[in-house]
Amino acid sequence: MAVNRHSDAAAPVRSAGPVSIWFRRHVETATGSLGRLARQPFASLMIVLVIGITLALPAALNLIIKNAAAVSGAWDDALDFSVFLDRQLTLSEAEGLAQLIRQRADVEAVTLVSADDALLEFKQQSGFGDAMDQLSHNPLPHTLVVRPSPANTGQSMILLREELANLPETELVQVDTEWVQRFHAILDIVRQAIFIGGVLLAAAIIVIIGNTIRLDIQNRRDEIEVTKLIGASNAFVRRPFLWTGFWYGLLGGLLAIALVQYGIYLLQPPVARLAGLYQSGAAVLTFDLAEVGTIIGIGVGLGLVGSWFAAARHMRRIEPR
């Protein structure tokens, strides 16, 4: 007798795999931890504010350094040598000398600024155009702007300057690199100070979150004892506190970014006015995606570290009676 197979027969129910169970439990725990924070908004807001302001301080200082480095990037021309030629030298002779210097291995580029071009630029930028028109002759010489090769060392730069100054066509060699070097040295010192301060502030965040989690553990001591009494492990009991630290760090990181961005918004009008006075298109740089991710990641990491230390330390002291 043939057995009839019904197409509408119920398929066997498959139990969820271990990965699905693990993921579902974490989602439930994360949602429950966030709900617990929402049920005590004032206390949660105070913790998030402290974390956000603490993270915003080094983030804002780092952004200042970023803008200062961007501005100083436009000062690379200060590393060039300005070779002022003899006033008796003709334009064709100056071009020949520029071509000769370009052939040097320690020179990357040479730009010739004729006396007429230099005078025109001076008139436009100095505001003394009418006064300069009264001059009977052009007092400015032809100038060579020599950019040294990046392969030069400090000693070879000094040697290049001396050789350019000893040329018979040279009147004066002007280079002022010391102030640029001092500025970059100051930026390096500030970067180190920000790093040290950031480490100290990170330790403060860990202490704050750890102390908050410790108080939460003490308030839920009876609940933890009952949970352990029915067989829950320390890892299971610790999970909601880790998610609480995660939410503190995440919200604190987002708040830090919002605070710094609001500060940038307030600074943009005065910076635009200052840039207009100097006829510059400079603008305040903000965070890129990598920096945003770094700040949020640091906040989350500190939240997890602080909550884990507190939970691991105090969880072992709570056992069913």
Query: Which strands sit side by side in the sheet containing 107-113, from one edge to the other?
Result: 107-113, 143-148, 81-85, 170-174
Q: What is the mean pLDDT of residues 146-164?
A: 81
Question: CA 2 → CA 5, 9, 69, 84, 237, distances in Å?
Answer: 9, 17, 85, 108, 56
Q: Where would I find the H helices in 74-114? A: 91-102
Range in 72-76, 141-145, 202-206 the model is least confident about: 72-76
pLDDT single digits (tens) 301-317: 999 999 998 888 877 77
Question: CA 107 → CA 66, 82, 134, distances in Å?
Answer: 30, 13, 38
Share of the chain above pLDDT 90, in %: 24
Q: Which domains does the chain have, with CATH numbers?
A: 30-74+181-315 (no CATH), 81-174 (3.30.70.3040)
pLDDT band at 11 (very low <50, low <70, confident <90, very high): very low
Residues in the chain: 321
pLDDT exceeds cutoff 80 at 154: no
pLDDT exceeds cutoff 60 at 78: no
Q: What is the mean pLDDT of residues 124-136?
A: 61
pLDDT single digits (tens) 274-305: 767 665 666 778 888 999 999 999 999 999 99
pLDDT for 13: 42
The pair of structure tokens assigned to 314 is 């105090």
Q: What is the mean pLDDT of residues 171-189?
A: 76
